Amino acid sequence: MKDIFFDENFIRFFKLSKIETDFFLYPFLLFEYKGYKSISSLGYQGVIVKKDYSENEIQDFYKKLDLFRKEKSIVTEFIRYNPFLGNSIVFPEKIASSTFFIVDVEKNPKEYFDNLPSRTRNSIKKAKECITVKRDRHVGILKGSLNYKNEFFYDEKSLKDLLNTPFTVKLSAFLDGEEVASSLFFYSKETSYYIANFSNDEGKKNGANTLLIYEFYRYCYENKIKFLGLGGGFKDGDSLSFFKNQFSTRKTEIFHSKFIFDRKAYQKLSENIDGNYFPPYLKDVNLLKLSNTCSESD
């Protein structure tokens, strides 16, 4: 299965580091904070298996990864596993972290629509009466999403650059010629992801966000994309979870692994910082900003 988070276009655009052999691929962000380097998944990644391997081949991969960690003096490593790829290496420290809503793109758009909850169908019908949906690559109203933390962009320029990549689709809702809502998606040959959204009061009042999700389902169906990953909420059972759940055909758990290789540095950086975020000292930091100053050739 092809997934955007392992696609070479994605890896190059975000200047990711990677450990790769003939049998395995592990892309990740390498970044530096206060002189200390760490590793993190960008999106849903981990280590994927490219083809059948022997014990010697997996041990060779582990040796390359360990050497990278030591040469770069890595303090922490965070892996967020991909929800769609079954051909991945799972580390023993893997734990469940959150609910992930999935839309299986199997039914034609009319059948999918007919199986949505009645409140969702009514919202889409209401939106269709007054809203036009278009694809474009302008930042537009999506600039409003900069008010919220997003791991894939952090200012207007980074968002604009992202919108001009071959793996993004931006759908915008227009009411009387004015853009009132916009959603950003990543896609590859078989999988896609809901990445960001913003709408003003008129967009919310007229159901623009529900129409945008439905229209992207149509896009996936027409382009034979098999899955749409909606992600989860900020916490289970919140309003964002409720919004995404109405479109999903099933849900799964997202898993992650956390490693601390330099306990002394970790404790120093985490001193007097509370919270469940890992590592705690990076809770309010955009890792892309840090990675832009830290290349694999350092």
pLDDT tens digits, 20-65: 999 999 999 999 999 999 999 999 999 999 999 999 999 999 999 9
pLDDT at 211 over 60: yes
Identify which of 90, 93, 64 has the alpha carbon closest to the alpha carbon of residue 76.
93
pTM (2 d.p.): 0.93
257 sits in which H/E element? strand 250-260
- Tell me, what DSSP letter sits at residue 81? B
More confident residue, 1 or 219: 219
CA distances from 181 to 6, 14, 144, 163 (A): 29, 26, 10, 16
Q: Which residue type, as a one-letter code, is found at position 165?
A: T
pLDDT at 296 over 50: no
Identify which of 268, 275, 210 has the alpha carbon closest to the alpha carbon of residue 242.
210
Question: Domain extents for the chain?
Answer: 4-97+254-291, 106-225
Q: From start to end of 70-176, where are the E strands?
A: 74-80, 88-89, 95-104, 131-135, 168-175
At 89 the pLDDT is 86
pLDDT at 293 over 60: no
CA distance 99 to 86: 17
At 276 the pLDDT is 82
At 92 the pLDDT is 76
Q: What confidence category does residue 284 fall into, taking pLDDT thresholds of 50, 70 and 90?
A: confident
13 sits in which H/E element? helix 8-13
H-helix segments, 194-283: 201-205, 208-222, 239-245, 263-270
Q: Which CATH superfamily is domain 106-225 in?
A: Gcn5-related N-acetyltransferase (GNAT) (3.40.630.30)
| 68-74 contact pairs (CB < 8 A, 24+) | 68/19, 69/39, 69/261, 72/30, 72/37, 72/298, 73/36, 73/37, 73/262, 74/37, 74/38, 74/39, 74/261, 74/262
At 61 the pLDDT is 96
